[in-house]
Structure 1
Amino acid sequence: MDKAPILTDKKKEVTVMSRLIKNKYLLFIFSAVVLGLLCGNVQAQKTIKIRYFTGMTPAHYFSSDLLPFFAAEVEKRTNGSVKVEVYPGGQLFGYRDGIDATTMGAVEMGLTSLGHWGGHNPIFSFSDYFLLIDDMDHWFRARDEIHPILDALFQKKNVKVLYYSAYGGNGICGRVQIESLNDIKGLKVRAPVPGALACLAAWGATPIKIAAAEVYDAMGKGAIDACASSWGSMYARKFYEVAKHAVGPVWWTVWVNFISLDTWKSLSPENQKIIMEVSRDTEKRSLGLMKAFDKKSLEKLEQVGTVKILTSEEKKAWGKPLRPAYSAWAKKCADKGYGKQAEEILNILDRVR
């Protein structure tokens, strides 16, 4: 009779202990789940850093406006989950070193001319040729059809094209006034890339390739007669002090903004969408900036020398002798297995001209 209550108390004690153990176990599981969710949330909110290089000088509107605009908009629209750091003027990489770094995934983003990629594929050199593109409005009319061709080739290099930047018109500034093609014949004219050099030769000039830093002295000493350059560079580099005459535009180059495919694939679909939206906005912004920049540069050049702006009819006449140079480019592409793409690009540019 006296032992029954003792057994009951022991059972109660065991029951209470079991409940305590069970509650502690549940509390442990709950805490682990909450901690896991918190850690996952922290990981999801971790800031992704993207380094954006270009060799363009810090004073140019690419570096002073477009790239900072892109960076600020990406950070704002992603709520700080993606931060873009801009490195202009070769601070991180120059053009060609940066291209190699991007293809290897060693840097995330870059801005170069399309022609800087010519060593990787001759297709990318088409905008190196004079008057193949009439102006930036012409390029942007062709852009949507040409872009898939280019992007497919870029992706083979582990790169995705985000957007294109409008670069200003290029003309020829010289020691003598150039009014017609006959005035160019026999002149020693500097240009920076093979396509432009081929066009000068087609016009009967003697093409010269020297470093940009040597052009001023070379024209001043009469070692060269003229050079192909953008309106902005003509003024910024003070070429007018040694070559007061300019004619153009004869050359419009395409500039491309790209991201490493490794970086692109690491981004969430939401952030990819945001970056493409910002890219479209930045591309549109570039065209307005370019036109304002060219207008200002031409006004300055007219104050210190002469500027001849070619009419549409004159550009057509100046373009006819360049057809063999375009054909030589297309053949070079065909020899590398890209003849179809070259033909498509030429046809698109002609159709929307």
Structure 2
Amino acid sequence: MTGFTRRNFLGTLAAAPLMTGMAGLPVTAWAQTTNLKISHQFPGGTINEGDFRDRLVRVFAQQVSERTKGALKFEIYPGSSLMKTNAQFSAMRKGALDMSLVPLNYAGGEVPETNIGLMPGLVTSYQQGASWKNAEVGKELARILGEKGIVVVSWIWQAGGVASRGKPIVDPADAKGMKVRGGSREMDLILKEAGAAVVTLPSNEIYAAMQTGAMDAAMTSSTSFMSFRLEEVAKALTTGRDKAYWYMFEPLMMSKAVFEKLPKDQQAVIMAVGADMEQFAMKAAQADDVAVAQVYQKAGAKVVDLNAEVVKKWQDIARNTAWKDFAARNANCAKLLSLAEKTL
């Protein structure tokens, strides 16, 4: 290559957009590496230690980077350090955020259909939750999310329980008169029916609310009960380790606008690694359901489990309140609920 031609080449390269983030930037012939940002609300750790959702994201990033020989690289932002928790879903829709692992129902105010991700009594085991991905309900949910600009990369479910400052909430009657965080419109509906006052906030704000007494009890996942150190402010825990009346859908998602700008082979790697992460997530979530009971017992809290009879009581309330309310929101919601009931 002559000096003149080389200078022209370098000048062209310098003028080309660099691929430092996917949002809004075209792929150029010169781009070697694409850097993607992954945001989540959970405490940060390492690839081997800490909240499994943070670990999952780190393993995912490492494996995708390896399989694409460094063509895809990732920056991970735990603890809502990149943006506020409730802004993540909307940012992905607009292509302003590449990826996030976030409870789907947090988008309920924006996309009502997403509230099916925390619908009490609709998913009652990990195996049933896992079956959604390839069932009609999962395909319909993926279609709706696709229309809203979201790609589901990993289907992740977590059992939920209740931590309380005072007495444990086991039976619906136990919630009467208590200030409780449900976590979704639908959870709030069953709590109101049980006589509780509802408190609305993301899981990373539960500790402060319970510490000050602004809230008596909170529903969240086993992992969050530990990651946010709620055993320091709770005196009782109702676990989801044997049976639970609610499971949270907490997927790893990607902006469709960003996903579609990637070459097909890179898209395929992202989806393949995302699928691989689902078994890791189920095992980790089930392990946390057991571990959380040990953490709370060690802290001196009263730990109780649910039985089938109690689960049915909550499910009956949900069927007559939350399920009806959700189905009445729009035609998509009604269809999703009907398809989900087929998996029960």
> Do Structure 1 and Structure 2 share a fold, with TM-score over 0.5?
yes
Instruction: Describe the SS at the equivalent of 1:57.
Output: coil
Aligned to 2:184: 193
Length-normalised TM-score, structure 1? 0.78
Specify the alignment match of 1:50 in structure 2.
36
1:281 is aligned to 2:272? no
Question: Given that residues 113 and 253 in structure 1 are in contact (C-alpha distance below 8 angstroms), is that contact kept between their aligned partners in structure 2?
Answer: yes
Relative to structure 2, which stretch is displaced further, 88-97 or 287-296? 88-97
Match of 2:206 among 208, 212, 218: 212
Q: Which has the higher helix share?
A: 1
| Alignment of 1:155 onto 2:121 | no
AA aligned to 1:246 is L
Structure 2 gap ranges (5+): 14-27
Matches of 2:234 and 2:87 in 1, distance apart?
33
Measured after TM superposition, the shift of residue 184 of structure 1 is 2.5
Structure 1 214/194 Cα, relative in aligned 2: closer, same or farther at 3 Å? farther
Please say if 1:267 is aligned against 2:267.
Answer: no
Q: Supply the AA of the counterpart residue of 1:306.
A: K
> Is 1:329–2:326 an aligned residue pair?
yes
**Deviations, residues 22-69 of structure 1 (Å, cap 9, x unaligned):** xxxxx99xx99xx9xxx9xx9367112211111222145345410111
Alpha-carbon distance in structure 2 between the residues aligned to 1:48 and 1:238: 36
- 1:134/1:217 CA distance change after superposition, 3 Å: same
The within-5 A match list for 1:302-321 is 302-303=297-298, 304-321=300-317
Larger mean CA deviation between 100-109 and 169-178 belongs to 169-178
Shift in alpha-carbon separation, 1:236–1:82, aligned structure 2, 3 A = closer
- For residues 168 and 98 of structure 2, what CA distance do their matches in structure 1 show? 45
1:313: Cα distance to partner? 3.0
Structure 1 alignment gaps of length 5 or more: 1-26
Q: What percentage of aligned pairs have identical amino acids?
A: 22
One-letter code aligned to 2:209: V
The partner residue of 2:221 within 222, 230, 244 is 230
The 1:173/1:82 distance shift into structure 2, 3 A limit, reads same
Tell me the SS of whatever aligns to 1:297. helix
Q: Contact between 2:163 and 2:235, CA under 8 Å: does it hold in 1?
A: no
1:131 matched to 2:121? The reply is yes
Task: Please give the alpha-carbon distance, in whole angstroms, between the structure 2 residues aligned to 1:255 and 1:178.
Answer: 24
| Post-superposition offset of 1:122 | 0.6
**TM-score scaled by structure 2?**
0.80
How far apart are 1:123 and its partner, in Å? Answer: 0.7
Matched residue of 1:52: which SS? strand
Determine which structure has more spread, i.e. the larger CA radius of gyration: 1
Contact 1:102–1:260 (Cα < 8 Å) also in 2: yes
